[in-house]
Amino acid sequence: AQSVTQLDSQVPVFEEAPVELRCNYSSSVSVYLFWYVQYPNQGLQLLLKYLSGSTLVKGINGFEAEFNKSQTSFHLRKPSVHISDTAEYFCAVSDLRDAGGTSYGKLTFGQGTILTVHP
Amino acid sequence: EAGVTQFPSHSVIEKGQTVTLRCDPISGHDNLYWYRRVMGKEIKFLLHFVKESKQDESGMPNNRFLAERTGGTYSTLKVQPAELEDSGVYFCASSQVNELSYTFGSGTRLTVV
């Protein structure tokens, strides 16, 4: 079974400061890792994903995340945040499943981290 | 391209009533997923369709929930009869075959009173 722990439920930060949102996962198989963001009154939007290759993954809006297999972590970082980054962020893990000859991923989400950027 | 569309965006119903949520995936996406977030909890998987076939419904809470996907296009999720604990945000997502990352809809916020 897979699980995801987001270590901070809320992160307040001032504009232009750096931020790190922490995510740890557990899984018995190879995993694929994602960060999604939900802006107020909107759906979930993919920020970035790690499937294979380089452990440093760059996403949209200046965010990046580093996959650390030994520490089973996938922390999200941004060097300088903006007011518009205020949102809820979700870390998720997926394994690869077979469905009649095709593959799909079933996401397991963390509890979410509310990032609030203050002026 | 149009995104994943969910109807309605909000629904308030009384305990014991029936509610039907609808999801229109991105055209050409064979994979369709339903997820739910109950207040204060994490987002959890409900079920997965490949075209019109249910591939995995391990997350469906009980038999009050019925999901269908007509002709492999849009999907509906019916809750009958609704209970207070069914309140939450129901997300739909879709993806192409063999694609691991999804496109999510904006969700339907269901409140059962």
Residue B61 has pLDDT above 70, yes or no: yes
> How many structural domains does chain A have?
1
Structural domain boundaries enclosing A71 = 3-118
Which CATH number goes with the domain that contains A68? 2.60.40.10
From the CA of A112, how many Å to the nearest CA of chain B?
7
Tokens of A77: 């970082």
Residue A9 reports pLDDT greater than 90: yes
Question: Chain A: which residues have CB within 8 Å of chain B?
Answer: 4, 32, 34, 36, 41-46, 49, 51, 90, 92, 94, 96-97, 99-100, 102-112
Q: At a CB cut-off of 8 Å and minimum separation 6, what does A21 contact?
A: A6, A8, A11, A35, A75, A76, A77, A89, A91, A113, A115
Examine the pLDDT at A2 and tell me if it is beyond 90.
no
Residue A98 pLDDT class (50, 70, 90 cuts): low
The hierarchical CATH code for the domain B5-97 is 2.60.40.10
pLDDT band at A29 (very low <50, low <70, confident <90, very high): confident
Q: In angstroms, rounded to a whole number, what is the distance separating the alpha carbons of residues B108 and B4?
A: 12
How would residue A52 be classed by pLDDT, with cut points 50, 70 and 90? Answer: confident
Show residues of chain A in contact with B43, CB under 8 Å: 44, 90, 92, 107, 109, 112
pLDDT band per the 50, 70, 90 thresholds, residue A101: low
b/e sequence A78-101, b meaning 16+ C-beta within 10 Å = beebeeebbbbbbbbbbbeeebee
B84: β partners:
none
Cα dihedral A69→A73→A77→A83 (10° resolution): 150
Taking the CA of residue A103 and the nearest CA in chain B, the distance in Å comes to 5
Q: What are phi and psi of B86, to 5 degrees?
A: -80, -10
Q: For chain B, what are the domain ranges?
A: 5-97
* Of A66-70, A108-112, B27-31, B100-104, the least confident: B100-104
- Residue A96: predicted pLDDT: 72
